[in-house]
Structure 1
Amino acid sequence: MNNPRFRILAFGFGLLLLLPTLDQLLGLSARFESTENRRAGGMPAFHFPHINSFVRQFDQYYKENFGWRNALFYAYSRWQYWGLGGSPLPEKVVVGKEGWFFLGDGYNNVVKQHRGLMPLSADSARLISTHLLRRQAELAAQGIRLYVLIAPDSHSIYPEFLPDRVAYKAPSRLDVLRQTIEKQGQVPFIDLRDTLLAAKKRDVVYYQTDTHWNDYGTLVGSARLLNRIAPDFPAMLPVRPADYQITRMRGGSGDLVRMMALQDDIRDPVFYEIKTAPAITARQTAEVPNTETGPRATGFPSTRFVGPNPRAPKLLFIGDSFSHSMMPLLAGYFRESYFARSSYLSPAVVQQEKPDVVVFQIVERNLGWLAEI
């Protein structure tokens, strides 16, 4: 007991036990922020006699908030990526080639989908197609045109940068659905893969460190959508390259490297800033709180715009996170626009907005959700 080395060891061990509590009390590791793309749960309230419930909730809370948690993950992430060349979160982020990163199977099994391990059955494709035809008929009865827009996963546009173990197998789920819709009916189904694959020969269309397309890819996709809608509404202005000023620069860090706490080390090599001409620049007039609940609720507000062309149609756009960068590029072509972050086409919103055009946009990995819009 009097051995100095024993005392030092005992003191060190006791300090290690106290460090998490000291950090929670003093904020010693406050500069290491959480990189999780979700809200951490708060401290649960104790309600007697529900002791077991409190213990389970507190256990989950402590796992998400114990002292030095974020600092330890920062250290582990750097060791895993820079030391071993792997992903510290393999289920969430796939480390690709030449500085590219991709979503992992933690997001609707996107890698398994790309490898053909989760094919879309013919029955499922017919179910989705029939449902879209039904929604199209409901809207057509109100004088509204429906367009379905698919934003491809980056896996489909830049497969050459995926690891060799992630081999693509045709036909894809999107191939099966597209063929079924083309056979069954006349729902305008806009698959942007060919458009973006052609555009990437000119310049980069997706972020290397993020799950989304960059602003240039957004512009290409938006132009394809507008060119599909315009023949149905002659009052719309044409899409002209001269109406866009495109500046290329070095960018920041995307959500994929932020998940791995590597945002200070890895930056996207290509970033675009796009400015629109006054003739196609809309004015944002309102943000409307999102009151949706459930597992797919986004919490992001809806946004309203007024465009410069009073003769143009009115737009209701329902989309996911890919739609965010589309708003300023699309809104200038419509007299009014309402953009809602949702995975459901609400009849109440349609009645409220009374649009001429409804666009429902969804990312490729979530195609199955089309059966429920």
Structure 2
Amino acid sequence: MQKRVTKIFIIVFIALISIPFIFVILQIKVTPVNKQEKKISLNFKRNFPLRSDLFKMYSLGKTTFFDAEPIPNGVVDAKNGWRFLGNKFSNALSESKGLITFNQKELSKIAKNLSEKKEWLDKKNIKFYFSIAPNKHTIYGDMIPIKKSHRKTKFEQLDSICQSLGINFIDLGSNFPKNDSLRLYHKTDSHWNHYGAFYAYNSTLEAIMPDFKGVDFNYRTMKDMEVEKFWAHIGDLNRALFLEQNEEFINVKPIKPFSFTAQEKTLTVPLNYHFGDHFYEERYKSPANELKIMVLRDSFFGAYFESIADSFGESLFIWRHNFNKKLIESEKPDILCYELVERNIDILLTENFNHSPN
């Protein structure tokens, strides 16, 4: 019976996949042609209709009839609808399990890069904090039936380097509650939700406050917040599989409203910026104190930027990881916080911490 089903599926799939090729051969256009697009991009994006529908069928066939992952290196299915990044994205799975680690040469290079940054910031009297957002695999790794290596992960190796160099290292998952009934990460997205991100805010402030005793940071704990749940269409891992699926979104919002206000953007967006000009720079002011914080950030920071903005008199958030000395000198922050997700940790091997999309 299984062989018969397999043959039927193959025949139907071949018949359907032939339709787009007929469109291409006959030069039937689905949308107007943009002459500036490259030919390969043009042929795939414009003249390959039904590609998402075909992939959905392919995905359904792989999971239903063959019990296999549609994109085994891209997305890994776990129990109860949970999905995780595979090794296609910076070896996220293997690195979280400690199967791929930094070698000694790489560790020495990272130590050199970090120590140079710290030394330069010390001369400018700028407090330096290095924070890492843990991969979803690191927090919920028990859902993936792969045994963690006895070796330190890249995350743990970086923690050790920072300790040896006297750099303030912040594990943004250090305040995560244990055995909590609420999820800290989305089930079908690689990012944490706002509930998990608020604990990252707590970890950040608890690392900074001892260095600025007597300063009011308008610090909030979960007692100052309320949790809300609603169904939403999210999931970068679903999008990778061309799936449309809602899941319960867990959000937190302040009981007492935030007091920060958005400020005008003043910086020129770099050429070839990937995320859209409006994401590059964000500025805020609040009556909390006189301190200015500058954060070099990625997408994980977006879920708790409001809490950070409310805890500092002036905030500048740059969605890029370049260590731009001219920009730092012109902005004159009291604090520089470098926020990075674990899966992009290899950025530290580059001389200037070049930006890497995530």
Q: Judging changes above 3 Å, is the alpha-carbon distance between structure 1 residues 211 and 200 closer, same or farther for their aligned structure 2 residues?
A: farther
Corresponding residue number in structure 2 for 1:192: 172
Q: CA RMSD in A?
A: 3.0
Equivalent residues of 1:98, 1:161 under 8 A apart: no
Change over 3 Å in CA distance of 1:332–1:59 after alignment to 2: closer
Choose which of 236, 253, 274 in structure 1 pairs with 2:253. Answer: 274
**Separation in 1, partners of 2:61, 2:264:** 46
Q: What residue number does 2:242 align with?
A: 261
Q: 1:204 to 1:44 in 2, by over 3 A?
A: same
Change (3 A) 1:370 1:140: same
Distance 1:287 1:82 in 2: 50
SS of the residue 1:268 aligns to? strand
Q: What is the Cα deviation at residue 210 of structure 1?
A: 0.4
CA deviation after TM superposition for structure 1 residue 22, in Å? 7.5
Preserved contact between residue 288 and residue 303 of structure 1 (Cα < 8 Å): no
Match of 2:119, SS state, is: helix
CA 1:191–1:23 in structure 2 vs 1: closer, same or farther (change >3 Å)? farther
Higher deviation after alignment, 153-162 or 73-82: 73-82
Q: Does 1:301 align with 2:280?
A: yes
CA distance in 2, matches of 1:97, 1:331: 37
Which segments of 5 or more consecutive residues in structure 2 lack a partner in the other structure? 1-15, 354-358
SS in 2 for 1:158: helix
Structure 1 residue 297, shift from structure 2 partner: 4.9
2:194 aligned residue? 215
Query: Counterpart in 1 of 2:206?
Result: 227
Letter in 2 for 1:121: N
CA drift of 1:111 comes to 1.8
User: 1:203 maps to what in 2?
Assistant: 182
Shift of 1:204: 1.1
Query: Which string of whole-angstrom CA distances, capped at 9 and with x for unpartnered residues, describes residues 245-284 of structure 1?
Result: 2223334331111221112xx3323422423523x43112
Alignment of 1:137-152 (within 5 A): 137-152=119-134
* Aligned residue identity for 2:141: P
Query: Is residue 96–residue 161 contact of structure 1 (8 Å, CA) maintained in 2?
Result: yes
Aligned to 1:167: 147
Q: Quick one: distance in 2 between partners of 1:106 and 1:13?
A: 25
Q: Offset of 1:24 from its aligned partner?
A: 5.1
Conserved 8 A contact 1:22-1:67: no
* TM-score (ref. length: structure 1): 0.79
Any conservation in 1 of the 2:155–2:342 contact (CA below 8 Å)?
yes
Q: Is 1:337 the counterpart of 2:302 in the alignment?
A: no
Contact 1:316 1:357 in 2 (8 A): yes
Residue 14 and residue 191 in structure 1: after superposition, are their counterparts in 2 closer, same or farther (change >3 A)?
closer
Aligned to 2:118, which of 125, 136, 139? 136
Q: Where does residue 353 of structure 1 map in the other structure?
A: 331
Counterpart mapping for 1:48-67 below 5 A: 57-65=38-46, 66-67=48-49
Shift in Å, 1:338: 0.8
Match of 1:283 in 2: 261
2:304 match:
326
Aligned residue pair count = 330
Which residue does the alignment assign to 2:104?
122
CA–CA separation in structure 1 for the residues paired with 2:263 and 2:307: 16
Aligned residue identity for 1:180: I
- Greater Rg, structure 1 or structure 2? 1
- Corresponding residue of 1:3: none
Could you give the per-residue CA deviations for residues 40-78 of structure 1, whole angstroms, max 9, x where no partner exists? Answer: x96557xxxxxxxxxxx5245313432332332232233
Indicate if the aligned counterparts of 1:126 and 1:180 stay in contact, CA closer than 8 A. Answer: no
Q: Would the aligned equivalents of 1:226 and 1:239 in 2 still touch at CA under 8 Å?
A: no
